[in-house]
Chain A
Amino acid sequence: MPDLNATPLEIVGQRVPQVNSRLLVTGEARYISDTFLPRMLVGKILRSPHAHARILSVDTSAAEAMPGVKAVITGKDTPGIKYGFQQNYARKLPLESEKVRYIGDEIAAVAAVDEETAMRAIAAIKVEYDLLPAVFDPLEAMKPGAPELHDEDTNNVIARITSKNFGDVDKAFSECDHVFEDTYKTPAQAHVCMETRSVVAQYDKKGRLTLYASTQFPHVLRDIISRVLDMPESKIRIIKTFMGGGFGARQSIDPINPIASLLAIKAGRPVIIRKTREEEFETDRTRHPMVITIKTGVMSDGRIIARHMNVITDTGAYHDQATAVTGSAANKISNFYHADHVRIEGTVVTTNKVFGGAFRGYGNPQATFAIESQMDRIAEGIGMDRVAFRHLNANRQGETTVAGAKMVHCEFPACIEQAAAASNWDKSGSTQTLRRGTGMGCFVHTGGGARAAHAASFSSTLIKMNGDGAIEIFTGTPDIGQGSDSVFAQIAAQELGVSYDMVNVITADTDLTPSTLGVRGSRETFMQGNATKNAAHNLRVQIMERAAKMLQTKPDALDMKDAVIFVTDEPGRTITLQALMAPSSPELATAFPMPQSIVATGEFVDTISEMADPKTGYGNTCPTWAFGAQVAEVEVDIETGHVEVLKLTGAYDVGRAINPMAVEGQMEGGAAQGLGYALFEDVLWKDGRVINANLADYKVATPMDMPPMETILIETIDPYGPFGAKGVGEAGMIPTAAAIANAVYDAIGVRIMDIPLTPERVLRAIKEQGVRPLTKMAAE
């Protein structure tokens, strides 16, 4: 494959501002809570105060009698249909009537004229509970005799991912020179979208339900609401407003959506529900905590030969995407670095806590923490340089992994080389108290969606071009802040030879925009970008065919720029787009100077990837793979345990960056979440109650907490991506925790097997393991 460097084109490859940036910076962008409909009511939810209990009775009479209360609903007001993102494990009802399984589980809801009345009404609902014993730790939950959450499950095991075996793992381990086995633990991480989850539901006199929702999946949301409310899809419209963050949280079809819908239907008035920040922490999805055991066998020359990974995922009280996330995590040992013998196992366990969902990286941050921590352990164990060890085993372009992943485009070695070269590995700045260290964390992740959870991956879009050259793109893809609108606008503008500011992007309205799967798996640039390019191409074909007739030449003799079509070899022979679209006779054109518009659709069906074989797990499940390496330089205060990150460097294999500024923004923002995951983000529970349900005690990075960051984009053309681009939305988050943990080990010789590396955890480990003495070289 020729190494085609992606030199910037006129629009694709340029650092253009986001399409709607002027609306964002002026406060004019409307988010859900800025949606005001006439006679709109405020909805509030009654949630279980108990981690595990049977519901004996629910008495809503006092609430219903309260002035200002316009609707009260309980489980009996719902069709009683359970749902979940993965239908096999659908266990959640919008309102529970038999049993509650975590503190926060939804029981009843009211819609009232204002927030105060709604809250008083909630307080007036009387529920009788029969308390049940609860279990909070997944390993405890798997033991016989543990309290069981769901009748369908035994020992709280809701799912197992199919055990996969490639090669001959046991024989391979026995032939390895060295075998390493470790167990790592990762916490629940909260998304902390700056806008708490909200929805406005409106049920009109045509019997149509409209939801203004924060959603990464408008079409999937429509499908699930249709199922849960037993309403035809055609009666449901999902409109995504501007959205204050997604990060995977907004893939989940949270109960507030069907609840608001039912309240709106019952009250006959629109209803808004907004979670408070506390409610968001207590009841919204989190990253799944995992316990990961990984065993790796290597030869003395550094080659990885055999790997075995066992993942135990704590899904909390219900199942949203835990099984797919577990698969995504566990599969990493089959496609992250080269190995010929791989065994993968995974178990998903329920506990009486808030349940997990998709979160940037989708199991990969957990897996990468484990894999990359162990890579350093192995390198040290066999006496090999950590960077060289990674470079040796890194995937190479053209390789097909033992599980069938095809690395058609791969710059992994370059990422390792460039991140390492841009970093400082010299620890001579260490003092007795402040020890310096440097560590690397790498990753592989999908660059265009993954087939794990769905049989087909497709995207479609519609483009309309007007006489003055203005373009509207109708795309189902929600821009959640990642900049997808601009990517599509740049692609269309480049393809159609118009300036970027002539493009308007209309998104994520199920009445207007074609179906698409949605924002997940870093897929939109690749999938919807390709669909957009195809639509633009189809539009161009239509234009050129018409123009060729008017100019009496062949379509391929023509080019187009700024709404003028011209003969390439005779630029003086032109026709304007306006003229092309005008009525055919000059008389009509004068009488009705109203240009038509030209419309084209384009789709992209992913035929490159495939579903994994259900028995063996073999298959190329992603159309393209993205790689990267981060290096963290840290300073550890051995008296307090504080880890200060001095610099974070990342080199990323992104194919072509359609908008380098936006790509950097994704890497920088991802790294900030990764740094939080590494150092201080942790949802804390006591007896099932979230005890740090606020922004003071659940800590995300402030401007003061972020170190200087260097972002290196390695841009060579991916053969299948639009203009050679790969998806990058999740990448920045994935390896940061490992890079920092490895740097801490390099600094003090203390290996910590669980994150976050809070000062207390680090100091405890220092006390238990002792600090590596300051070497003479470092002290000089």
Chain B
Amino acid sequence: MAKMTMEMSVNGELCEEEAPANITLLDFLRDKLGFSGVKMGCNMGECGACTVLVDGVSVNSCLMLAAEAQGKEVTSIEGLSKGTTLHPLQKAFAEFGGAQCGYCTPGMIVAAKAVLDENPDPSDEEIRFALAGNICRCTGYVKIVEAVQEAAAELRAKGGDHA
């Protein structure tokens, strides 16, 4: 199996690494590029812990080859904060109890960002539908939905998400 040079933009930075063709985007981000905020929950696309954005849309990075992300823009949880300034979603999850053990949190927040990018004023129902692929075993989802709503309100007041 040949090694490929994978090139993609990750969190705004151009990244280039040699990797085998069979590496998933999840393992490429974690093991080759060091973005350990992207989590492995099941490796089968059934839990959403590995969610990242590829060209702005949410995907399970465990079910995507790094090869398929060549030339694209990838956003992981690490791309949402600027220094110590948190994205409104991160702030809301922290302040409103949206994270307990925190393992599902990176994927959940990235998935929620995709929701709000598309629909800045979602109903609770719409949030739950859009986050159906993100499993949390700790919170029962109540405070996750609240946090998304809080962040949505803040983003609307700011005139949108420029992250």
Residues 655-684 of A, flagged 1 when their CB comes within 8 A of B and 0 if not, give 000000110110011111100000000000
Are B132 and A702 in contact (CB-based, < 8 A)? Answer: yes
A22 to B38, CA, bound (A): 16
Our pick among A22, A192, A243, A277 for the contact of B94 (Cβ within 8 Å) is A22
Our pick among A27, A670, A672, A695 for the contact of B77 (Cβ within 8 Å) is A27
Our pick among B36, B49, B102, B131 for the contact of A703 (Cβ within 8 Å) is B131
Are A27 and B141 in contact (CB-based, < 8 A)? Answer: no
Are B78 and A694 in contact (CB-based, < 8 A)? Answer: no
**Closest A-B pairs by Cβ, 5 of them:** A27-B37, A481-B101, A24-B102, A244-B103, A668-B140
Our pick among A28, A196, A670, A696 for the contact of B37 (Cβ within 8 Å) is A28
Interface SS of A by simple majority: loop
A246 to chain B: closest residue by CB: B101
B46 to chain A: closest residue by CB: A695
**A276 close to chain B: CB less than 8 A:** yes
10 contacts between A and B (CB under 8 A): A21-B94, A193-B101, A194-B137, A483-B100, A665-B138, A665-B140, A668-B141, A672-B141, A702-B133, A703-B144
A277 to B103, CA, bound (A): 14
**Could you tell me the distance in whole angstroms from the C-beta of A95 to the nearest C-beta in chain B?**
26
Residues 99-120 of B, flagged 1 when their CB comes within 8 A of A and 0 if not, give 1111111100100000000000
Residues of B within 8 A of A243 (CB): 101
8 A Cβ contacts from A16-37 to B:
17-18, 20-31, 33-34
Are A25 and B135 in contact (CB-based, < 8 A)? Answer: no
A704 to B78, CA, bound (A): 27
Residues of A within 8 A of B137 (CB): 191-194, 245, 247, 669, 672-673, 700
Residues of A within 8 A of B144 (CB): 703
Residues of B within 8 A of A599 (CB): none
**A612 close to chain B: CB less than 8 A:** no
8 A Cβ contacts from A66-107 to B:
none
Instruction: Indicate whether A277 sits within 8 Å of B139 (C-beta atoms), given known contacts A243-B101, A665-B97.
Output: no
Are B81 and A700 in contact (CB-based, < 8 A)? Answer: no
B103 to chain A: closest residue by CB: A244
A229 to B98, CA, bound (A): 40
Residues of A within 8 A of B106 (CB): 25, 27
Are B132 and A703 in contact (CB-based, < 8 A)? Answer: yes
8 A Cβ contacts from A99-155 to B:
none
**B58 close to chain A: CB less than 8 A:** no
A171 to B148, CA, bound (A): 60
**Could you tell me the distance in whole angstroms from the C-beta of B97 to the nearest C-beta in chain A?**
5
**A482 close to chain B: CB less than 8 A:** yes
Most buried by B among A194, A481, A672, A732: A194
8 A Cβ contacts from B133-154 to A:
133-145
Are A26 and B77 in contact (CB-based, < 8 A)? Answer: yes
A314 to B144, CA, bound (A): 36
Our pick among B81, B95, B139 for the contact of A26 (Cβ within 8 Å) is B81
**Could you tell me the distance in whole angstroms from the C-beta of B146 to the nearest C-beta in chain A?**
10
Residues of B within 8 A of A193 (CB): 101, 103, 137
**A706 close to chain B: CB less than 8 A:** yes
B95 to chain A: closest residue by CB: A17
**B40 close to chain A: CB less than 8 A:** yes
Instruction: Indicate whether A702 sits within 8 Å of B102 (C-beta atoms), given known contacts A26-B90, A672-B141.
Output: no
Residues of B within 8 A of A480 (CB): 101
B80 to chain A: closest residue by CB: A26
A483 to B97, CA, bound (A): 10
Are A244 and B102 in contact (CB-based, < 8 A)? Answer: yes
Are B142 and A709 in contact (CB-based, < 8 A)? Answer: yes
Are B103 and A31 in contact (CB-based, < 8 A)? Answer: yes
Residues of A within 8 A of B102 (CB): 20-21, 23-25, 29, 242, 244, 481
Residues of B within 8 A of A (CB): 35-44, 46-47, 49, 76-78, 80-81, 84, 86, 89-91, 93-106, 109, 127-129, 131-145
Residues of B within 8 A of A17 (CB): 94-95, 97
Residues of A within 8 A of B (CB): 15, 17-18, 20-31, 33-34, 191-196, 242-247, 276-277, 480-483, 661-662, 664-665, 668-673, 694-696, 700-704, 706, 709, 732
Are B99 and A24 in contact (CB-based, < 8 A)? Answer: yes
Residues of B within 8 A of A22 (CB): 84, 86, 90, 94
A673 to B140, CA, bound (A): 8
B91 to chain A: closest residue by CB: A25
Most buried by A among B77, B91, B99: B99
Are B46 and A27 in contact (CB-based, < 8 A)? Answer: no
Are A195 and B94 in contact (CB-based, < 8 A)? Answer: no
Are A194 and B104 in contact (CB-based, < 8 A)? Answer: yes
Residues of B within 8 A of A26 (CB): 37, 77-78, 80-81, 86, 90
Are B139 and A665 in contact (CB-based, < 8 A)? Answer: yes
Our pick among B41, B104, B140 for the contact of A706 (Cβ within 8 Å) is B140
Residues of A within 8 A of B97 (CB): 15, 17-18, 661-662, 664-665
A245 to B37, CA, bound (A): 16
Residues of A within 8 A of B140 (CB): 665, 668-672, 701, 706, 709, 732
A25 to B103, CA, bound (A): 9
Residues of A within 8 A of B141 (CB): 668, 672, 701, 703, 706
**Could you tell me the distance in whole angstroms from the C-beta of A128 to the nearest C-beta in chain B?**
32
Are A18 and B94 in contact (CB-based, < 8 A)? Answer: yes
Instruction: Indicate whether A195 sits within 8 Å of B86 (C-beta atoms), given known contacts A277-B44, A695-B135.
Output: no
Are B43 and A276 in contact (CB-based, < 8 A)? Answer: yes
A706 to B141, CA, bound (A): 8
Known: A481-B138, A704-B128. 4 other contacts (CB 8 A): A20-B102, A194-B135, A245-B103, A703-B134
Our pick among B44, B95, B109 for the contact of A694 (Cβ within 8 Å) is B44
Residues of B within 8 A of A194 (CB): 39, 41, 47, 49, 101, 103-104, 135-138
**Could you tell me the distance in whole angstroms from the C-beta of B61 to the nearest C-beta in chain A?**
13
Instruction: Indicate whether A25 sits within 8 Å of B105 (C-beta atoms), given known contacts A483-B100, A668-B143.
Output: yes
Are A33 and B40 in contact (CB-based, < 8 A)? Answer: yes
B40 to chain A: closest residue by CB: A33
Most buried by A among B40, B42, B97, B140: B140
A195 to chain B: closest residue by CB: B103
Are B143 and A195 in contact (CB-based, < 8 A)? Answer: no
**Could you tell me the distance in whole angstroms from the C-beta of B52 to the nearest C-beta in chain A?**
11
Most buried by A among B39, B100, B106, B145: B100
Are A665 and B143 in contact (CB-based, < 8 A)? Answer: yes
**Could you tell me the distance in whole angstroms from the C-beta of A501 to the nearest C-beta in chain B?**
12
Residues of A within 8 A of B76 (CB): 27
**Could you tell me the distance in whole angstroms from the C-beta of A240 to the nearest C-beta in chain B?**
12
Instruction: Indicate whether A695 sits within 8 Å of B42 (C-beta atoms), given known contacts A18-B94, A26-B81, A668-B139.
Output: yes
Residues of B within 8 A of A668 (CB): 139-143
B78 to chain A: closest residue by CB: A27
A662 to chain B: closest residue by CB: B97
**Could you tell me the distance in whole angstroms from the C-beta of B10 to the nearest C-beta in chain A?**
13
A661 to chain B: closest residue by CB: B97
Our pick among A192, A661, A673 for the contact of B143 (Cβ within 8 Å) is A661
Residues of A within 8 A of B37 (CB): 26-28
A23 to B143, CA, bound (A): 18
Residues of A within 8 A of B134 (CB): 703
Are A24 and B105 in contact (CB-based, < 8 A)? Answer: yes
**Could you tell me the distance in whole angstroms from the C-beta of A761 to the nearest C-beta in chain B?**
23
Residues of A within 8 A of B84 (CB): 22
Most buried by A among B35, B41, B76, B104: B41
Residues of B within 8 A of A247 (CB): 137
**Could you tell me the distance in whole angstroms from the C-beta of B24 to the nearest C-beta in chain A?**
12
**Could you tell me the distance in whole angstroms from the C-beta of A477 to the nearest C-beta in chain B?**
15
**Could you tell me the distance in whole angstroms from the C-beta of A184 to the nearest C-beta in chain B?**
25
Residues of A within 8 A of B99 (CB): 18, 21, 24-25
A44 to B25, CA, bound (A): 23
Are B109 and A25 in contact (CB-based, < 8 A)? Answer: yes
